[in-house]
Structure 1
Amino acid sequence: MMTGFRRALHDTLLSLGLLSQLCLCTEIPVTASTEFPTSTYDYDYLSEETSSDVMDYNQFVQQCQKEDVRSFRKSFLPAIYSVICVLGVVGNGLVVITYIYFHRLRTMTDVYLLNLAIADLFFLITLPFWAVNVVQHWVFGQIMCKVVYGLYRVSFFSGMLLLMCISIDRYISIVLAASAHRHRTKAVYCSKIVSMCVWLVSILLATPELHFSQQTKSDNILQCKMRLTNDTLIYTASAQLALGFFVPLAVMLFCYCVIIKTLLLARNFEKHKAIKVIIAVVLVFLLFQLPYNSVMLIDTINDVNSTMTDCELSKRMNIALDITKSLAYVRCCLNPFLYAFIGVKFRTDLLKLMKEMGCMSSERLMRYANIKPTGPAKRGSIATDTESTTTYSP
């Protein structure tokens, strides 16, 4: 009886094994999942595609060709960079030479304006390198790639922070005029310490550029670029937007609004001219900085989230970045006119320097220097300070 039971069990297991092998032999073959990324498969769909050998090319991501963007950059950027560089070097160079020649670091604003001119000059020095990089390729080597990137970023942050310091100094000089006059000698020393701190903070903020900038080869062309992860990209963009735009703008708006309020309450016949200069300073900052920072914010969000899928839209974003960035660079040319050349004593020193350099005769110097004579009534003005370049008079 036991033998019969074992034989029946053996026959049953053998039948089950044969049945399973039969099912495996008749199962429908399925291709690798890399060919069809969907997790479930439809029998009719697979049979149609595999039988006809037709491949759906819409599943492949096509690379966006940007030859027209590169062509635009090669014609636009070198031209605009050349104009900005020449005008900016001339204007800021005159500021630096005038301050050094006449030893005119007598006020906080003098110290800030000298450092601002130096920062703008450093910034302008980098533009020819970027122009060559756009027209041809990066021919200056790995070390110069890091140096130019680092200098570009340090000068950018220091320039913005110094504009903020100038606004604070003007607030102290006009709104808190009495206390500012009492601490005049200490203020100059303090401004030098503040300027040094601005440069140190700018170097710290430029650390990612010094670390991640490198010479890379793409399509057999050497380029100086930043190799950033998403976290680093978010950090650099946030630092530029915060300390390079929003914080200086907020400080400028607060300081200049209080200054305008103080000037309106003062009995000063030149207060309307001073207010016009203040409004011009704020409007120029917004006009030249707001478009670039807005486009950069949108572009950074798209890069981090990878939401830019339209090729034409991506190309338009690249062109918008180039145009608005060039517009933002124009501030280096305008800073001497907005902050230094409006000072009466600075203009007088500049005219004297031009005379000593042989660029102007004595008669012309006297004629230009006496366009706006400064009498006793103007010396007590709240909007003009004859010993400082914080003057707002034109």
Structure 2
Amino acid sequence: FLFPRQVHQVLYFSGIASFLENCSSCYDSEDENDSCCASPPCPQDFSLNFDQTFLPVLYSLLFLLGLVGNGAVAAVLLSQRAALSSTDTFLLHLAVADTLLVLTLPLWAVDAAIQWVFGSGLCKVAGAVFNINFYAGALLLACISFDRYLSIVHATQLYRRGPRGRVALTCIAVWGLCLLFALPDFIFLSANYDERLNATHCQYNFPQVGRTVLRVLQLVAGFLLPLLVMAYCYARILAVLLVSRGQRRLRAIRLVVVVVVAFALCWTPYHLVVLVDTIMDLGVLARNCARESQVDIAKSVTSGLGYMHCCLNPLLYAFVGVKFRERMWMLLSRLGCPDRRGLQWQPSSSRRDSSWSETTEGSYSGL
């Protein structure tokens, strides 16, 4: 349900099969007034050709950008792993999730451009890894938001004052939940040869109701729930920060606004398009060939916009932060790179502040 080209193929050819079956029953019944053969399925040639050209280029670009950006985040955080805060730990897991997600994009690029040549085993694994990290990215953002909410609004250090393994247990719970969400990929994904396409593709094999259920799960667990958590937490954070004045706090306000807006802008268009397509599947909105083609192309474009969020995360959650830049320069200095700032790196604080903090003042240290 996240791979537009495969969805197009399944819908088109299952529609052909249904059309031929209905026509056969019409002829058998010899009912001259029966019109069940009047509406053959819409051709998907244009949308399939669009995907074959557009998706490989997009996936290749996102693979390179996401790998470099998230790799840099992981390297900087791991270089300071002894002093990682709870937010840094979530950020590290987020970088891992985004990296694993973009690592599957070359496989889907090959599938879109030519065919699936990697076998059913890798089809299941690639689909599961993709969706595990799709869910993990959204849920980890919600965890970061909730951690900052407790720290700033309620002045509660949930992970710093609790057991040392509490943040690790939270991350394990997130990954375990995402693995549960990805079980349908292990069960229903397989590499199937289609004689009509003369090609093999990694596709889901389940009825329409199964596709609808997975789409609802994706919408709720992978978008609506994390977005609501982030919106609520950051709204409360903004309410606290706006009471105070000062340039540092203004930078923190800008950052928390960008966090929610970027996630919403990247993923809202895709989920709206999928919602329209689901409504069409359920028969609430009438289908026609022009509308189907527009929806198919819109799914390809908006899914690419959503995947682009994996490349934006390093910018939004790390490179904006003062402390992250300091730690990045420190790592580059260790590797022998000259410090272009002309300054010797100095720790901003002896406390375990977040790598993306805008200030080291009290409860604002995580922003």
TM-score w.r.t. length of structure 1: 0.78
- AA paired with 1:165? C
Is the counterpart of residue 195 in structure 1 residue 171 in structure 2? Answer: yes
1:152 is matched with: 130
Counterpart-to-counterpart distance in 2, 1:32 and 1:296: 36
- Deviation at 1:193? 0.6
Is the counterpart of residue 34 in structure 1 residue 29 in structure 2? Answer: yes
* CA-to-aligned-CA distance 1:207-265 (integer Å, 9 cap, x gap): 11111111112222101011222332222111110011111111111100110010112
1:215 is matched with: 191
**What secondary structure does 2:287 align onto?**
coil
Is the counterpart of residue 135 in structure 1 residue 78 in structure 2? Answer: no
CA contact (8 A) 1:74 1:134 kept: yes
- Deviation at 1:78? 1.1
**What secondary structure does 2:192 align onto?**
strand
Q: Do the aligned partners of residues 180 and 149 (structure 1) sit closer, same or farther apart at CA in structure 2, a change above 3 Å counting?
A: same
- Deviation at 1:142? 0.7
Q: Do the aligned partners of residues 108 and 343 (structure 1) sit closer, same or farther apart at CA in structure 2, a change above 3 Å counting?
A: same
Task: Name structure 1 gaps, 5 residues minimum.
Answer: 1-30, 40-55
Counterpart-to-counterpart distance in 2, 1:285 and 1:174: 21
2:302 is matched with: 324
CA contact (8 A) 1:108 1:188 kept: no
- Deviation at 1:37? 6.1
Is the counterpart of residue 164 in structure 1 residue 159 in structure 2? Answer: no
Identity %: 34
2:338 is matched with: 361
CA contact (8 A) 2:100 2:130 kept: yes
- AA paired with 1:143? G
Larger Rg: 1
Counterpart-to-counterpart distance in 1, 2:273 and 2:124: 25
CA contact (8 A) 2:323 2:348 kept: no
- AA paired with 1:191? V
Q: Do the aligned partners of residues 156 and 66 (structure 1) sit closer, same or farther apart at CA in structure 2, a change above 3 Å counting?
A: same
Is the counterpart of residue 345 in structure 1 residue 320 in structure 2? Answer: no
**What secondary structure does 1:305 align onto?**
coil
Q: Do the aligned partners of residues 285 and 207 (structure 1) sit closer, same or farther apart at CA in structure 2, a change above 3 Å counting?
A: same
CA contact (8 A) 2:77 2:84 kept: no
CA contact (8 A) 2:52 2:113 kept: yes
Counterpart-to-counterpart distance in 2, 1:208 and 1:149: 10
1:259 is matched with: 237
CA contact (8 A) 1:110 1:389 kept: no
Deviates most, 98-107 or 383-392: 383-392
* CA-to-aligned-CA distance 1:146-180 (integer Å, 9 cap, x gap): 00010011011111100000100111121122x32
1:173 to 137, 147, 151: 151
CA contact (8 A) 1:268 1:383 kept: no
Is the counterpart of residue 109 in structure 1 residue 87 in structure 2? Answer: yes
- Written as runs of structure 1 = structure 2, the 5 A alignment for 1:1-394 is 34-36=29-31, 38=33, 59-177=37-155, 179-180=156-157, 184-186=160-162, 189-218=165-194, 219=196, 220-305=198-283, 309-358=287-336, 360-362=337-339, 364-367=340-343, 384-385=359-360, 391-392=366-367
Counterpart-to-counterpart distance in 2, 1:199 and 1:141: 26
Counterpart-to-counterpart distance in 1, 2:273 and 2:344: 43
1:22 is matched with: none
Counterpart-to-counterpart distance in 1, 2:201 and 2:344: 49
- Deviation at 1:368? 9.0
2:13 is matched with: none
Counterpart-to-counterpart distance in 2, 1:348 and 1:386: 17
Q: Do the aligned partners of residues 148 and 308 (structure 1) sit closer, same or farther apart at CA in structure 2, a change above 3 Å counting?
A: farther
Counterpart-to-counterpart distance in 1, 2:121 and 2:58: 26
- Deviation at 1:32? 7.2
